[in-house]
Amino acid sequence: MKMKMKSNVQFVQGNKACILGALDAGYKFYGGYPITPSTELAELSAVELPKVGGKFIQMEDEIAGIAAAIGASLTGKKSMTATSGPGFSLKQENIGYAMMAEIPLVIVNVQRGGPSTGLPTSPAQGDMMQAKWGTHGDHPVIALTPESVQETYYMTIRAFNLAEKYRMPVMLMTDEVIGHMREKIVIPNKEDIEIIDRVQPNEKEGYLPYGVKDGETVPKMASFGDGYRYHVTGLAHDETGFPSNSNENAKRLLDRLMNKVNHNLDDILDYEEYMLEDAEHIVLSYGATARSARAAIKQMRQEGIKAGMFRLKTVWPFPEERLLELSKNVKNVLVAEMNLGQMVLEVERVVKDNAKILFCGRADGEIITPEEIVETLKEEF
Amino acid sequence: MKMKMKSNVQFVQGNKACILGALDAGYKFYGGYPITPSTELAELSAVELPKVGGKFIQMEDEIAGIAAAIGASLTGKKSMTATSGPGFSLKQENIGYAMMAEIPLVIVNVQRGGPSTGLPTSPAQGDMMQAKWGTHGDHPVIALTPESVQETYYMTIRAFNLAEKYRMPVMLMTDEVIGHMREKIVIPNKEDIEIIDRVQPNEKEGYLPYGVKDGETVPKMASFGDGYRYHVTGLAHDETGFPSNSNENAKRLLDRLMNKVNHNLDDILDYEEYMLEDAEHIVLSYGATARSARAAIKQMRQEGIKAGMFRLKTVWPFPEERLLELSKNVKNVLVAEMNLGQMVLEVERVVKDNAKILFCGRADGEIITPEEIVETLKEEF
Amino acid sequence: MNKYVKKYLRNDKLAHMWCPGCGHGIIMHQIIKAIDNLGLDKDNICVVSGIGCSSRAPGYMDFDTLHTTHGRALAFATGIKLANPDMKVIVVSGDGDASAIGGNHLIHACRRNIDITTIVFNNTIYGMTGGQFSPTTATNDLASTAPYGSIDRPFDIAKLAAAAGASYSARSTVYHANNLEKLIEEALQVKGFSLVEAMSMCPTSYGRRNKKGTVSDMLEDYKETYININAFNKLPLEKREGKIEMGVFKNETYPEYTAEYQKIIDRLKGDK
Amino acid sequence: MNKYVKKYLRNDKLAHMWCPGCGHGIIMHQIIKAIDNLGLDKDNICVVSGIGCSSRAPGYMDFDTLHTTHGRALAFATGIKLANPDMKVIVVSGDGDASAIGGNHLIHACRRNIDITTIVFNNTIYGMTGGQFSPTTATNDLASTAPYGSIDRPFDIAKLAAAAGASYSARSTVYHANNLEKLIEEALQVKGFSLVEAMSMCPTSYGRRNKKGTVSDMLEDYKETYININAFNKLPLEKREGKIEMGVFKNETYPEYTAEYQKIIDRLKGDK
Amino acid sequence: MSRENLVLKVKPEWCKGCGICVHFCPKNVLELDEDNKIVIARPDDCIKCGLCELRCPDFAIYLEGDENEDEK
Amino acid sequence: MSRENLVLKVKPEWCKGCGICVHFCPKNVLELDEDNKIVIARPDDCIKCGLCELRCPDFAIYLEGDENEDEK
Amino acid sequence: MTNQFELRLSGAGGQGLLLAGIVLAEAGILDDKFATQTQSYGPEARGGASKSEVIISDSEIDYPEVRTPNLTLALTQEAADKYISKDIMNGIIVVDERVKINPAIKYEKLISVPIMKTAKNKVGKAIVANIVSLGIIVEATNVVSKEAMESAILNRVPKGTEKLNKMALESGYELAK
Amino acid sequence: MTNQFELRLSGAGGQGLLLAGIVLAEAGILDDKFATQTQSYGPEARGGASKSEVIISDSEIDYPEVRTPNLTLALTQEAADKYISKDIMNGIIVVDERVKINPAIKYEKLISVPIMKTAKNKVGKAIVANIVSLGIIVEATNVVSKEAMESAILNRVPKGTEKLNKMALESGYELAK
Ligand SMILES: Cc1ncc(C[n+]2csc(CCOP(=O)(O)OP(=O)(O)O)c2C)c(N)n1
Ligand SMILES: Cc1ncc(C[n+]2csc(CCOP(=O)(O)OP(=O)(O)O)c2C)c(N)n1
Ligand code: SF4
Ligand code: SF4
Ligand code: SF4
Ligand code: SF4
Ligand code: SF4
Ligand code: SF4
Ligand SMILES: [Mg+2]
Ligand SMILES: [Mg+2]
């Protein structure tokens, strides 16, 4: 008799899981430009979106891709753009725009080897800092890093939820390994998935597109075409959305933007603590590299080395407080990432002298092996 | 009788001083796109370059501007591009290219208020992190921050020298205040200015455009048109310049790129120590804000508060070692910058628990006042 | 208050920020008149711009308005239109915004023939940043970045749009304000990509440097220089010198992008 | 070894990375033949590309060669040419590279009429990234991002370049290789911006999905479809259906950018 | 609405004194005052042709009719 | 150089077996072998027309003459 | 890492090894095991040799790349030259009979059989060489059950080709016996 | 901050106050003092009021912006409304006679004189109002020497206009007496 996978089980690439998650989150618009290794996100969107009445458009470049996605989001559609390294740089100006104008948007970056064209078909985690600092000026960033195909599915849904809830672009930072690897995923029942939609105003009179009540951080967002007739600009603006040169307005706006994330860390921060209860050594990792870290920890545990993992699921915001707390009880914090040292800088900043910080990184197109992690730690013994 | 300024004295804007310095450094090509508050750099280049047989071109956008400047540099001309916040983001992909392909280039960013279009005619220091992390992948960065019109002149020369010496783009990070303010500058005698030119090969046979002898970090650079017929790419490449998928080659290349800066910190790092001998409080600042810091320190010294300034002249590389050393002898390190917290993160990372770190920042389009700095420090007493 | 102003502008935002004599206000006036002529629903209009003096127009117009990044208005507008094809989407853009940094988005919007009406406020200069030459600055004109006279050759935006595939393309000037209104009205009725190039004077950043006299002189210049394309074509060659064509350059019907997309959606529904 | 290969290619880099039957090798062959015909100095030629399969060509060519970022070849080349006007600057670019992300640089290079010869390797697809449609993909063609048939309308690159101001613009195909060689040779002699659009087959990313048969079938298709523009214009309208013009679309003389710049320098010298 | 019922109005706060309306008025009705603000100097000469309104970049001069209906 | 002096040569390492030369050879001179590499199956039929060389995308087949001069 | 089996399937582009890898991994999943599949991409995959890698394991798979494959398949010489290296071999090598193995390479077992010929002549279509290969692999390693393998194939192949593919699979079993 | 004098010169775009600021600062330099000059930019400067700020000091100038000007000049009402604010005033105010000052504003001294009229009628060109203003400022404050001021003007103004400008300056001296 023919064996079949359960109807809610699929064996798919990470990039496909991302699109499946997006669709389950209510995804309706893709604007982008193809680039390896993110291209499947465009291709699958082209196939799937029209089936659900959504729209896919391949624009003339990455800049236009994110611009179209922002435009679509303004009409109330859940939108996404996807890219990799060089394309991510091109999108930065408009990422800043979406931050400033508070437009919900999911930006997927399937990371590849850099700098520049670099190693286009090899994995990397070299855009972590770009995710936070690629634009000019200060604004908060939310960036998620899945470690598996299944988690890509869930995190994509979460990315849409956070984008809608906080009215801001949210980044999903995967990499060539996670994007192209196939694994089994289980699609949950619709009822078991929480879907968050942006809060829309219900009163046109006195609608303040950038105004909040005391203590709130996220203004209600009307859709273009719904008759609110409001103005959106990337200039510093006041609560009405119109440009303002006043320093006080600029300060109030920027503070509120920062607080959207800083005041909601409890809701946003996400990490995994793996075998940390009795750990003497923390391996901090994220994304594909966390898999190697997990293998390394299993191996070390067998050898009696008390290692555990602190896995970032949100790289930005960075879980400072928890890491600081954890670091006080360990000897070493080893950071493993596929770059020459990015999140490790944040770890150094947070951990200070509480533990020794070790670094295991590479940026030559190969994923870090469990053995490299083990060795980096053992050199300390 | 009519009084005249000495012939080597001028009362000019920072942007003009930049062009005067560039010309004295041997500047021959400008490619760019106008944007406030950097526009004068283009305008003055358009006036001056053809007078010295150089070329100015206004391209169709910022991306094309830096691309043209890189192309010109490959023919042996000392090249510059200039921009401000949003344009700086657009240039990032090609900044990464110039880093990877090792093309000397000076990039001036006259910073303005962000994020996004933000406060286009107001000063800011909100691109400090973008300067380091705007591209994808890992590579070293050299970024200089002048605090006055006179220093803009000198630092522009230094930017060209470093670019040529280390075969890489060098950033001059000024801001709207320094760029638009007029001050007196004194132009030194030609003999008193050190001008560095790139090292060119003299042997076509066996020329390795990306090859160095043991211990060296910077390969010789031939000019296009000189008959070397070599290949330049943004892909990972070997010593011959041709693409290579080998992990070892990628690693060797990236390590060498990093070492160009990391092994030459003595030559590159630059900072000023002002009244630090007996200081109990360090004010760390740079660019226009350092002027307020200096005023604040003078004021505090009069009140008997032992404050001094550590002024970054190279923000990147960051003078870690010296700061760590200094921080061990003080109570507070106060960071003053026109943003919501950028270099202060680096300070936290370096200083750790050696001193208390205070932050005085603003990003509302106004330059920080000396009083704000004084107050921030006094709150600690 | 002028009835169009009352009805379509955000009066609390006026007086606008444009310089005395800037032509941009005249163009904005014709746009709202054209909208009124067609009786379009205010709640269903979206005006999108990039960055520049011209791109400040949406802030004064009482619709859903979007002031984006420099050069990218058409890309944002494309997303809006495709996501909500029922909206009337209008892009206002400067010559720099539309044809320098935004040139690619312009030709691609033309190629796709997406139903957007673009009004280019062409003052042949970068007004906002103080007078650098733009892709439409005439050769030999002076500009802050062309201190010895521009050596660049200018684009003819209306013709370029036609060549790139737009359904409709036309040109007029702020002197010919009634004609401009008519062309905008016509463009707004096109189902497909339409573009109206509106020649506008910038006394501050262009006129002064190029010794063009008063703004009234500049308007008189338009009167002299621009003649209807049909009249132009009838002129003997030697008389064409110094004249520029205005009027409708192209008006053709092609499949429209969002309608074609809808066909795919309908087809897929049918397949179920 | 073929004498052109010996003389102009980096033989140690061959065999090249292109797929079996990819037309790009045929184009590269015609480029080096044209260079040889003109007896150009190898040391004084620079070949610049962006990113794409086609953009890998410079790596095989024994000149100063520059492989830049996607779409930006012409901007880099503009810097090279202006900084060193004595060099012969050739840009090779894919249809995506030249007309999608690089479309703006293309029209602006045309507008400036800078002395660069651009060869567009047009396989009407993004080959390198596996078959997404490009701005030249025919409507209704299938592509990985047009699974239901493309609804985009294609650019005619040769005509667009002509409209944007190029001095010379022409088209041929890899089937008509000798003709292609002749056009490239002609383009290289133009003092100003010249463009040759070379139609090239991509069996891997285009042919297979669109059921175009073998590469030989695809070449036979070119033979059938492309006819000389003069012959085309003589055809009665009903016979033009399904045919595409090739040959020279434009060949005019305009002031060249670097020469005009030199005049400014000379003028300023005179002023001293 | 017939021309006679129209009333020529100005909004000096918005006028920037560019002089366009003055220049193009066929009847020489308009002037700029000391502060460079528009003044209807010779109202009786006005033929309500609307050319001033047509090209005023600042919406500062216009012919107003009985627009009660519009205003609702 | 006259056609007769030309020699038809192949460089099988570079041949990718696309079959273009085989298809367009007017004299049916060429074949692909089991490994999909070019073979001059009927050399005597070759008229040295050069069409194979013209369209071979891989520089793997060509007519070689006495090119001593070129080689220096 | 107990009971983890790593495979590398290599050959020329177009030989269907990507599909073979997926089918193999899906068979593993049908057997209630864990599986990952990865492949070479981009220019690397353009023409020339390409590879598809599969890991099948009793427990969750952490590190997802194949480093020292327990089994390597190479259908062409180029693939063998590229992907069978002496540094990394320790397991079974399966090659088409025409492929020559560098004598310096050490292996546990070499299965050199007429895969291409069998597909072309015996089964009748060269294109099923990938399925023939799967038959060999399953027979030689039992990494997945035959039942799962058959089901996995049937779940993936186009309608109308089921018989052909079953035949191919069985010819594979035969070749490995 | 000993002996530092801060000035804000404001008026309509095109009234030459940018030049006035530069000339004033250059006069300071001729007097061997330190000087900085800044101005308003961009859309803010488009039409409407604009300003030019100067600091003249005996020692190096650190903080470069004018916050509480020792002297503020306003040639138009709009400029006065925008730049003469009660929060920041403590010094001398110089305005054209037609400008009205908000009564809430406190100042050390108000010089309200016919600057525009003098330039237009007495000197003969409205455009030299900026130089007339400099005359008033120098006479009223001695912030720079008259010799330096005259030289600074002559160094900057176009050939042929020296006399006109000198006249303007002197009319300014007169107005402030
Ligand atoms: C990315 C970016 N580059 C440059 C600028 C600076 N900038 C603002 S507007 C403008 C040009 C405006 O010219 P145009 O579009 O013709 O509009 P106008 O002001 O003449 O109406 C420029 C270069 C910017 N804001 N953003
Ligand atoms: C900024 C950027 N965006 C996207 C890509 C991905 N990319 C590489 S080549 C290419 C398209 C290639 O198509 P074309 O120019 O037609 O060349 P072909 O491969 O068909 O010869 C794309 C989209 C990239 N490398 N960089
Ligand atoms: S600068 Fe020119 S375009 Fe801008 S508002 Fe003034 S006149 Fe108009
Ligand atoms: S993918 Fe297409 S364009 Fe690229 S090498 Fe293969 S056949 Fe040529
Ligand atoms: S309506 Fe006509 S006549 Fe009357 S003021 Fe205006 S332009 Fe003059
Ligand atoms: S046209 Fe308008 S702004 Fe100009 S002077 Fe007349 S009323 Fe005033
Ligand atoms: S030269 Fe002509 S006849 Fe000879 S093999 Fe080639 S194509 Fe055939
Ligand atoms: S055309 Fe060239 S690559 Fe193709 S089969 Fe013939 S020799 Fe081989
Ligand atoms: Mg303009
Ligand atoms: Mg292509």
- The answer to whether residue A285 is domain-embedded is yes
Flag if F57 and D23 touch (Cβ within 8 Å): yes
| CATH code for the domain in which residue C266 is found | 3.40.50.970
Tell me which DSSP letter residue D248 carries: E
d(CA C89, CA C71): 16
Interface check for D57 against chain G (CB to CB < 8 A): the answer is no
Q: Give the integer Cα–Cα distance in Å for C148 and C151.
A: 9
pLDDT per residue as tens digits for the range D192-231 = 999 999 999 999 999 999 999 999 999 999 999 999 999 9
Beta bridge pairs of residue A111: A175
pLDDT of residue H89: 64
* Mean pLDDT of all residues belonging to chain C: 97
Say if residue B184 is in the same domain as residue B283.
Answer: no
State how far the alpha carbon of B326 is from the alpha carbons of B281, B287, B291, C241, E66, in Å: 10, 20, 21, 73, 78
Show the ligand 3 pocket: residues with CB < 6 angstroms. C 18-19, 22, 24, 53, 123, 127-128, 202-205; H 46
pLDDT, one tens digit per residue, over F13-47 is 999 999 999 999 999 999 999 889 999 999 999 99
Report which residue type is found at A296: A
Cβ atoms of residues H95 and H112 within 8 Å = yes
> CATH code at A16?
3.40.50.970
**Which residue in A89, D81, A64, C70 sits closest to B31, CA to CA?**
D81
Q: What is the DSSP string of A200-266?
A: PPS--TT--TT---TT------PPTTSS---EEESB-B-TTS-B---HHHHHHHHHHHHHHHHTTHH
Distance between the two ends of chain G, CA-based, in angstroms?
Answer: 29
Closest residue on chain D to F14 (Cα): D15
Residue H106 pLDDT grade (very low, low, confident, very high; cuts 50, 70, 90):
confident
Which of B158, B177, B192 is the C-terminal boundary of a domain?
A: B192
Decide which of B158, B192, B226 is a domain's last residue. B192
ipTM: 0.97
Q: Are residues A56 and A162 in the same domain?
A: yes
Candidates B102, B103, B233, partner chain D, best to mutate (most D CBs within 10 A): B233
State residue D11's pLDDT score.
95
- Which whole number is the average pLDDT over D233-237? 95
Ligand 7 atom 2, closest CA: F49
Does a structural domain hold residue G99? yes
> What angle separates helix D257-271 from helix D73-83, to the nearest 10 degrees?
30
Confidence of residue B329 (pLDDT cuts 50, 70, 90): very high
Name the token pair of C206: 């262009």
**Mean pLDDT of all residues in F4-8:** 90
Over residues D161-183, the pLDDT tens digits come to 999 999 999 999 999 999 999 99
Residues within 5 Å of ion ligand 10, judged at the Cβ atom? D 94-95, 123, 127
pLDDT-based confidence at G2, cuts 50/70/90? low
User: Does pLDDT of G1 surpass 50?
Assistant: no
Q: Is residue B251 part of a domain?
A: no
Pair (A280, A178) in one structural domain:
no
Residue D120 beta carbon below 6 angstroms from any ligand 2 atom? no
Q: A81-138, pLDDT tens digit by residue?
A: 999 999 999 999 999 999 999 999 999 999 999 999 999 999 999 999 999 999 999 9
Give pLDDT tens digits for G83-114.
888 766 679 999 999 999 988 898 999 999 99
Distance to chain D for B357, nearest Cα, Å: 42
Q: Do A115 and B138 touch (CB under 8 A)?
A: yes
Angle at B72 between CA B71 and CA B77, to 5 degrees: 145
For residue B94, with 0-12 CB atoms within 10 Å meaning exposed, 13-18 middle and 19 or more buried, which class applies? buried
Provide CB contacts within 8 A for D266, sequence distance 6+: none
B337 C-alpha to ligand 7 centroid (Å) = 74
Is the four-CA dihedral C189, C195, C201, C204 of positive or negative sign? positive
The answer to whether G128 touches G141, Cβ cutoff 8 Å, is: no
Q: Of B83, B91, B136, which to mutate for an interface test with A (greatest number of A Cβ within 10 Å)?
A: B136
CA-nearest residue for atom 5, ligand 4, is D18
DSSP sequence for chain C: --HHHHHHB-GGGPSPSSPTT-THHHHHHHHHHHHHHHT--GGGEEEEE-SSSGGGGGGGBSSEEEE-STT-HHHHHHHHHHH-TTSEEEEEEEHHHHHTTTHHHHHHHHHHT-SEEEEEEE-SSBTTTT-B--TTSPTT--BTTBTT---SPPP-HHHHHHHHT-SEEEEEESTTHHHHHHHHHHHHH-SS-EEEEEE---IIIIITTTT--SHHHHHHHHHHHEEEHHHHHHS-HHHHTT-EEEEEEEE-----HHHHHHHHHHHHHHH-
**Residue F70 C-alpha to ligand 9 middle, in angstroms?**
56
- Residue B149 CB neighbour total at 10 angstroms: 28
Q: Which 3 state secondary structure label does DSSP give A279?
A: coil
The span from the CA of C148 to the CA of D271, in Å, is 12
Distance from CA of A184 to the nearest CA of D (A): 24
Strand duo B105-113 + B119-123: pairing: antiparallel
Is B129 a member of any domain? yes
CB of G51 closer than 8 Å to CB of G39: yes
Around ligand 1, the residues with Cβ closer than 6 Å are: B 33-35, 62, 86-87, 90; C 51-54, 70, 94-97, 121, 123, 125-129, 134, 202
HSE-up (13 A, CA, CB side) for residue A70: 36
The residues, ordered by sequence, that sit 6+ positions from B303 with a Cβ below 8 Å of its Cβ are: none
Find out whether A91 and A38 touch, Cβ atoms under 8 Å. no
Placement of tokens 């707390």 in the chain: A325
Please, which residues have CB within 8 angstroms of residue D37's CB and are 6 or more apart in sequence?
A: D181, D185
Say how many CA atoms lie within 13 Å of C108 toward its Cβ. 31
Of H36, H38, H154, the CB nearest to B2: H154
Total domains in chain B come to 2
pLDDT(D9) > 50: yes
pLDDT in tens, chain C (272 residues): 789 999 999 999 999 999 999 999 999 999 999 999 999 999 999 999 999 999 999 999 999 999 999 999 999 999 999 999 999 999 999 999 999 999 999 999 999 999 999 999 999 999 999 999 999 999 999 999 999 999 999 999 999 999 999 999 999 999 999 999 999 999 999 999 999 999 999 999 999 999 999 999 999 999 999 999 999 999 999 999 999 999 999 999 999 999 999 999 999 998 76
Helix-then-strand count for chain A, H and E: 13, 16
CB contact under 8 A, C15 and E58: yes
The tokens describing G7, both together, are 């495979």
Say yes or no to pLDDT of E72 above 60: no
Residue A182 β-bridge partners: A13, G37
Using the 3D structure, point to which of A192, A224, A258 is the last residue of a domain: A192
Q: Point out the ligand nearest to the CA of residue E30.
A: 5
Give the span between the Cα atoms of A210 and A214, in whole angstroms. Answer: 13
pLDDT tens per residue across span E37-53: 999 999 999 999 999 99
* Domains of chain E, start order: 3-64 (3.30.70.20)
D65 ligand 4 Cβ < 6 A: no
H-helix segments, B147-278: 149-166, 176-180, 247-262, 265-268
- Kindly give the pairing relationship between strand D194-199 and strand D168-173: parallel
* D-chain residue closest to C114, CA distance: D152
Q: Kindly state whether residues A22 and A146 are assigned to the same domain.
A: yes
Top mutation candidate among F4, F30, F55 for ligand 7, by most atoms within 8 Å of CB: F30
- pTM for the structure as a whole: 0.98
pLDDT score at A141: 98
**Pick from D107, D257, D267: CB nearest C148:** D267
Which of C111, C252, C268 is the best residue to mutate to test the D interface, defined by the most D CB atoms within 10 Å of its own CB?
Answer: C111
Q: How far is D218 from chain G (nearest CA, A)?
A: 18
Count of the separate structural domains present in chain D: 1
Q: Which chains touch F (3 or more CB pairs under 8 A)?
A: D
Cβ–Cβ below 8 Å for B39 and C130 = yes
Instruction: Report which residue type is found at H15.
Output: Q
CA–CA distance, A309 with A296 (Å, rounded to integer): 10
CA atoms in the 13 A half-sphere facing the CB of B73? 31
Is residue A151 pLDDT above 70, yes or no? Answer: yes
Question: For the residues E30-39, what does the mean pLDDT come to?
Answer: 94
At residue E67, the pLDDT reads: 56
**pLDDT greater than 70 at residue H46:** no
Residue D81 tokens, joined = 């040419």
C-alpha B231/C-alpha B242 separation (Å) is 6
Cα distance between the two ends of chain D: 56
Question: Which one of D24, D27, D174 would you pick to mutate in the ligand 4 pocket, going by the greatest count of ligand atoms within 8 A of its CB?
Answer: D24
What was the pLDDT predicted at H68?
87
Q: What angle is formed at CA D158 by the lines to CA D154 and CA D164, rounded to 5 degrees?
A: 95
Ligand nearest to the CA of C203: 3
Beta strands (DSSP E) in E1-72 are: 7-10, 30-32, 38-40, 61-64
Is residue G91, in this structure, part of any structural domain at all?
A: yes
The pLDDT assigned to F29 comes to 98
pLDDT of residue A163 exceeding 70: yes
What's the gap in Å between the CA of B45 and the closest CA on chain C?
Answer: 8
D206 lines ligand 2 (CB under 6 A): no
- Asked, for residue A188, whether it belongs to a domain, the answer is yes
User: φ, ψ for residue C196 (rounded to 5)?
Assistant: -120, 120
CA dihedral over C101, C106, C112, C114, signed as positive or negative: positive
Mean pLDDT of chain B: 97
Whether residue F71 has pLDDT greater than 50: no
Task: Give the domain CATH number at B287.
Answer: 3.40.50.920
Contacts of C50 in chain B (CB under 8 A): none
Residue D123 CA, ligand 10 centroid: distance in Å: 5
* Nearest Cα residue to H144 out of H41, H37, H50, H65: H37
pLDDT over threshold 90, residue A215: no
Of all residues in chain A, what percent carry a pLDDT higher than 90? 98
pLDDT of residue B93: 98
Quote the CA–CA distance of A82 and A8 in Å, as a whole number: 26
- How many domains does chain G fold into? 1
Residue identifier of the C-alpha nearest atom 2 of ligand 4: D202
Q: Is residue G149 part of a domain?
A: yes
Q: What is the DSSP string of chain G?
A: -TTEEEEEEEEETTSSHHHHHHHHHHHHHHTT-EEEEEE--GGGGSSSEEEEEEEEESS---S-S-SS-SEEEESSHHHHHHH--TTT--SEEEEETTPPPPTT---SEEEEE-HHHIIIIIIS-GGGHHHHHHHHHHHHH-SS-HHHHHHHHHHHSPTT-HHHHHHHHHHHHHHH-
Does A264 score more than 50 pLDDT?
yes
State the count of interchain CB pairs (< 8 A) between A and D: 45
Pair of tokens at residue D38: 């003109």
Quick check: B178 and B146 in contact, CB under 8 A?
yes
CA-closest candidate to residue H75, choices H150, H128, H29, H35? H128
- The number of residues in chain C equals 272
CA nearest ligand 6 atom 2, residue? E56
Cα(C43)–Cα(C56) distance, integer angstroms = 20
CB A160 within 8 A of CB B364: no
For residues D195 and D91, the answer to whether their CB atoms sit within 8 Å is: no
**Least confident stretch, B224-238, G95-109, G137-151, H76-90:** H76-90
What is the domain range of residue H78? 4-116+143-158
pLDDT in the model for residue G68: 87
Length of chain H, in residues: 177
Give the domain range for residue D26. 3-271
Is the beta carbon of E20 within 6 A of some atom in ligand 5? Answer: no
Residue C92 Cα, gap to closest chain D Cα (Å): 19
Contacts of A69 in chain C (CB under 8 A): 79
Residues of H in contact with C17 (CB under 8 A): 43, 46-47
Place of tokens 């020792």: H70
At B182 the pLDDT is 98
pLDDT at E70 over 80: no
Residue A329 backbone dihedrals phi, psi, to 5 degrees: -105, 10
Structural domain of residue A302, as residue ranges?
271-378
For D137-156, what is the mean pLDDT?
98
Give me the mean pLDDT over the A321-343 stretch.
Answer: 98
Q: How far is the CA of C29 from the centre of ligand 4 (A)?
A: 52
Ligand 5 pocket test target in E27, E32, E40, E64 with most atoms within 8 Å of CB = E27
Residue A3 has a CB neighbour count (10 Å cut-off) of: 18
Which secondary structure element, helix H or strand E, spans residue B105, and what is its range? strand B105-113
Name the phi and psi angles at C16, rounded to 5.
-75, 175
Phi, psi of C249 (to 5 degrees): -90, -30
Minimum CA distance residue for ligand 1 atom 26: C70
End-to-end CA distance of chain E: 18
